[in-house]
Amino acid sequence: MLVIHGGAGSMSPENMSAEKQQIVREVLTKIFDAGYQMLESGASAMDAVETVVKLMEDSPHFNAGRGSVTNAAGKIEMDAAFMDGKTGLAGAVAGVKRIKNPVSAARAVMERTPHVLMLGEGAEMVAREAGLEFKSSAYFLNKTKDGEKGQKITDGWDPSYELSPHKYGTVGAVALDKNGNLCAATSTGGMQNKRIGRVGDSPIIGASTYARNGLVAVSTTGHGEFFIRNAVAFDIAALMDYKGLTVEEAVKTVLAKLDKQGAQGGIIAIDGQGRPAAFFNTRGMYRAFKDASGKTRALIFND
């Protein structure tokens, strides 16, 4: 079982052309099917999750990797996290600027170091040791997820310049493989025009990313500060573990709490039996999964 998301935000049928909607659905379907076929062929949840997140990072349609938005200085700062539900081990990177696929760097931190979260230059050292691919800033800056160039560049934080309505873009995946192992990963370019050095929820284990075998795997997208303060991903696991809620009930409960706080975003999850959940309180969320009939569903709005 697999569920993927490509970010939640202010996208709506009114501000997104039918052509753009079709393109995004086709991209989501292609990426989802690649990961699902891996799982059907016996691949591990970790390999399938890494693969689909890398594919989204490589696409200009999502705010991660190649499609990352820029900070207040017009620079790229990317974050990612990876968690193995079987071992409980996790890895994350924050503020990386040149790693082509931050999700692979997060996995490298998990597998090659005794640490969980590594920043900037230190994270890039681990990525180099793992033989990961690096790109120049032009790779990330020449084309944003909307195919545009040249976001506003300032010397620092400009409070007069509002955050982009696409600020909630983030990608993630959760999977359950044939051996019963769960995995979750999340990757993001962060909020457009964010303060230099701002880190959101995506690389914080328990905030945006969490996995525990037999229970649940979670990946989120949204207003990161709220997701950090509420430990959203772990809260879902705790509601299921301690109160016996289903994955759908737990996700809806946490989203309702966020809604009361004025926080927006979306959550995908899979429980230990393969039951999926994908809910959001924004205008839309890019997402893909298999429906009850076994058909791939790539959705954007409440359709």
Residue 172 neighbours by CB distance under 10 Å:
34
Query: Quick check: is 79 in a domain?
Result: yes
Band (pLDDT 50/70/90 cuts) for residue 93 is: very high
Residue 211 tokens, joined: 């996995």
Active-site residue, from 51, 70, 170, 188: 170
Evaluate if residue 86 carries a pLDDT over 70.
yes
Query: Quick check: is 286 in a domain?
Result: yes
Return d(Cα 167, Cα 192) in angstroms, integer: 6
Residue 13's pLDDT is what? 82
Query: Quick check: is 199 in a domain?
Result: yes
Mean pLDDT of the 154-176 span:
56
- As a whole number of Å, the end-to-end CA separation of the chain is 21
Query: Quick check: is 292 in a domain?
Result: yes
CATH number for 212: 3.60.20.30
Read off the DSSP letter of residue 69.
P
Expressed as residue numbers, the domain containing 93 is 2-7+37-141+176-234+243-299
Residue 216 tokens, joined: 């649940």
pLDDT in tens, 102-144: 999 999 999 999 999 999 999 999 999 999 999 998 999 865 4
Evaluate if residue 31 carries a pLDDT over 50.
yes
Contact 168, 7 (CB under 8 A): yes
For 96, how many CA atoms within 13 A lie in the half-sphere containing its CB?
A: 36
pTM exceeds 0.85 for this model: yes
170 is catalytic: yes
Residue 1's pLDDT is what? 95
Angle, CA 217 vertex, CA 216 and CA 220 arms, to 5°: 125
pLDDT in tens, 231-281: 999 999 999 999 999 999 999 999 999 999 999 999 999 999 999 999 999
- pLDDT averaged over every residue in the chain: 90
Return d(Cα 254, Cα 142) in angstroms, integer: 37
Evaluate if residue 148 carries a pLDDT over 70.
no
Residue 134 tokens, joined: 């690096």
Query: Quick check: is 257 in a domain?
Result: yes
Read off the DSSP letter of residue 293.
T
The number of distinct structural domains making up the chain is: 1
pLDDT in tens, 184-209: 999 999 988 899 999 999 999 999 99
Which of 2, 22, 26, 5 is CA-nearest to residue 13?
Answer: 22
Q: What percent of the chain has pLDDT over 70?
A: 91
Which of 52, 79, 55 is CA-nearest to residue 68?
Answer: 79
Residue 165's pLDDT is what? 40
Q: CB pairs under 8 A, 24+ apart, for 223-229?
A: 223/167, 223/168, 223/263, 223/264, 223/265, 224/190, 224/191, 224/199, 224/200, 225/200, 225/201, 226/258, 226/261, 226/262, 226/263, 226/265, 227/200, 227/201, 227/258, 227/263, 227/265, 228/200, 228/201, 228/204
Return d(Cα 2, Cα 270) in angstroms, integer: 8
Mean pLDDT of the 165-180 span:
82
Query: Quick check: is 161 in a domain?
Result: no
Residue 142's pLDDT is what? 64
Pick 214 or 156 by higher pLDDT: 214
Residue 143's pLDDT is what? 52
Evaluate if residue 9 carries a pLDDT over 90.
no
Contact 236, 211 (CB under 8 A): no
Strands 284-290 and 2-9 turn out to be antiparallel
Return d(Cα 171, Cα 150) in angstroms, integer: 22
